[in-house]
């Protein structure tokens, strides 16, 4: 799977929106690495991976959809500053605990294929979580 296909999938759409909405007040979220306040439905607000999915020719699909591997980030930190993994790791450890983050680093070595069945599973899983959270916080992506 190529990065364009992954990041344009419905599974990633619902996963990233769920993560951003989860950590937000319903419309604004704080970047996990810079502390900037970002509007979650704008292009400068990303959902970043601690363990990158596509990293120097390798793929880390085993942790691609793990909630504990994801955090809100500005486009500057996520795309142009390499994700600032040291800062993001510290932020995620505060949210989920050191043991959970350490287990992600072990899990990343598992062989995982993102076939149609797996992508569909993650789409249904995160769409359900997203829809439930929208009932509580609203949907800032709805026009």
- What's the whole-number average pLDDT of the chain? 94
- pLDDT bin (cut points 50, 70, 90) of residue 113 is confident
Give the pLDDT score at 142: 84
Give the pLDDT score at 143: 58
Give the pLDDT score at 82: 87
Across 122-141, average pLDDT: 97
Across 23-42, average pLDDT: 96
- What tokens does 53 get? 């999915």
Neighbours of 115 (CB within 10 A): 10
Give the pLDDT score at 95: 97
Q: pLDDT tens, 69-111? A: 999 999 999 999 989 999 999 999 999 999 999 999 999 999 8
The 3-class secondary structure across the chain, one letter per residue, is CCHHHHHCCHHHHHHHHHHHHHHCCCCEEECCCCCCEEECCCCCEEEEECCCCEECCEECHHHCCCHHHEEEEEHHHHHHCCCCHHHHHHHHHHHHCHHHHHHHHHHCCCCCCCCHHHHHHHHHHHHHHHHHHHHHHCCCCCC
- pLDDT bin (cut points 50, 70, 90) of residue 2 is confident
Distances in Å between the Cα of 128 and the Cα atoms of 25, 109, 117, 132 are: 19, 28, 17, 6
CA distance 25 to 19: 12
The verdict on pTM exceeding 0.75 is: yes
CA distance 4 to 16: 15
């Amino acid at each position: 799977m190529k990065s364009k296909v992954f990041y344009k999938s419905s599974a990633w759409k619902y996963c990233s929106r769920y993560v951003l909405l989860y950590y937000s007040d319903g419309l604004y979220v704080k970047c996990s690495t810079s502390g900037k306040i970002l509007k979650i439905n704008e292009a400068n607000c990303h959902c970043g991976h601690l363990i990158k999915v596509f990293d120097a020719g390798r793929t880390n699909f085993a942790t691609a959809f793990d909630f504990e591997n994801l955090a809100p980030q500005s486009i500057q930190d996520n795309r142009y500053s390499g994700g600032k993994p040291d800062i993001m790791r510290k932020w995620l450890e505060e949210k989920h605990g050191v043991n959970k983050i350490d287990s992600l680093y072990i899990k990343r070595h598992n062989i995982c294929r993102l076939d149609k069945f797996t992508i569909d599973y993650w789409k249904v899983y995160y769409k359900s979580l997203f829809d439930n959270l929208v009932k509580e916080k609203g949907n800032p992506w709805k026009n």
